[in-house]
């Protein structure tokens, strides 16, 4: 991780869960991390904790609604002005709504596409532009996907969400191919966790907290820090090594 010290990483959805753990890990490794979310109160608290812990990097909170392209573009413009640009882009933000294919609301479907697919693609495009403008040829784009992007969960509440994660799988491979065609050494990686104990299930099943709790009580789940470790593993790989897809799940998880 030595070569990343002092360089700039963008982590989307950095206020809680996997995003917060990734942001903390990268600051600990000496990176300047822009952590964005719709609400930055928790990121500001995390930034203070990192500073108190004496980490060599810094965490910069940035308020951004990723379902709004103008806000994303404004964020990248601010990063360019204040920090020159993005060297590492961690597309972590994602959400799920209980909207089955046969009875779901279009609004919920659209929100999942906006955040899980379009925001990821927009941030990727803008991060690549930032790298090329500054002749950064060793940058890294990491998409936090899901095992739901590789197999369909047998639950109607999850089907549309899984479809957006299948899109992330396809977008990551498409990105890898386009980066090769562009003769760049910028790398693209997809990290696909199984069940991770975060606030995700409680947001997904917001009307049924007992159901959400049951998800995490059934087995020994992954922790957000496990995913952060996977991110640092990917970043620490030698520049000539392309890690395409990291699939990780709890030992006890069935599928």
In angstroms, rounded to a whole number, what is the distance separating the alpha carbons of residues 99 and 42? 28
CA atoms within 13 A on the CB side of 240: 0
Which residues in 41-73 are b (16+ Cβ under 10 Å) and which e? Answer: ebbeebbeebeeeebebbbbbbebbbbeeebbe
| Helix (H) or strand (E) segment spanning residue 168 | helix 159-181
Direct distance between the N- and C-terminal alpha carbons of the chain, in angstroms, rounded to an integer: 32
DSSP letter, residue 15: S
In angstroms, rounded to a whole number, what is the distance separating the alpha carbons of residues 62 and 64? 6
* Neighbour-count burial of 80, counting CB atoms closer than 10 A to its CB (0-12 exposed, 13-18 middle, 19+ buried): middle
> Both tokens of residue 224?
């957000």
- Considering the candidates 161, 166, 216, 233, report the single residue annotated as catalytic: 161
DSSP letter, residue 196: B
Q: Tell me if residue 161 is catalytic.
A: yes
In angstroms, rounded to a whole number, what is the distance separating the alpha carbons of residues 178 and 253? 34
Angle at 112 between CA 131 and CA 189, to 5 degrees: 35
> Whose structure tokens read 């299948």?
166
Catalytic residue IDs: 161
């Amino acid at each position: 991780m030595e070569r990343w010290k002092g360089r700039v990483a963008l982590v989307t959805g950095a206020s809680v869960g996997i995003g917060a753990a990734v942001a903390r890990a990268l600051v600990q490794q000496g990176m300047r991390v822009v952590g964005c979310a719709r609400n930055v109160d928790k990121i500001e608290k995390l930034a203070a904790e990192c500073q108190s812990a004496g980490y060599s990097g810094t965490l910069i909170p940035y308020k951004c609604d990723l379902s709004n392209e103008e806000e994303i573009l404004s964020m990248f413009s601010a990063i360019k002005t204040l920090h020159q640009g993005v060297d590492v882009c961690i597309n972590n933000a994602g959400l799920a709504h209980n909207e089955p294919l046969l009875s779901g609301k279009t609004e919920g479907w659209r929100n999942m596409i906006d955040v899980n697919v379009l925001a990821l693609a927009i941030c990727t495009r803008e991060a690549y532009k930032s790298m090329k403008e500054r002749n950064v040829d060793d940058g890294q784009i990491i998409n936090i996907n899901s095992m739901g992007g590789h197999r369909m969960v047998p639950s109607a509440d999850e089907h549309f969400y899984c479809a957006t994660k299948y899109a992330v799988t396809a977008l990551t491979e498409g990105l890898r191919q386009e980066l090769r065609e562009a003769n760049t050494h910028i790398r693209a990686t997809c990290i696909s966790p199984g069940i991770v104990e975060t606030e995700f299930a409680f947001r997904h099943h917001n009307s049924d907290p007992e159901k959400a709790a049951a998800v995490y009580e059934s087995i020994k789940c992954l922790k957000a820090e496990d995913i952060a470790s996977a991110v640092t593993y990917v970043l620490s790989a030698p520049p000539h090594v392309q890690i395409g897809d990291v699939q990780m799940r709890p030992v006890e998880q069935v599928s």
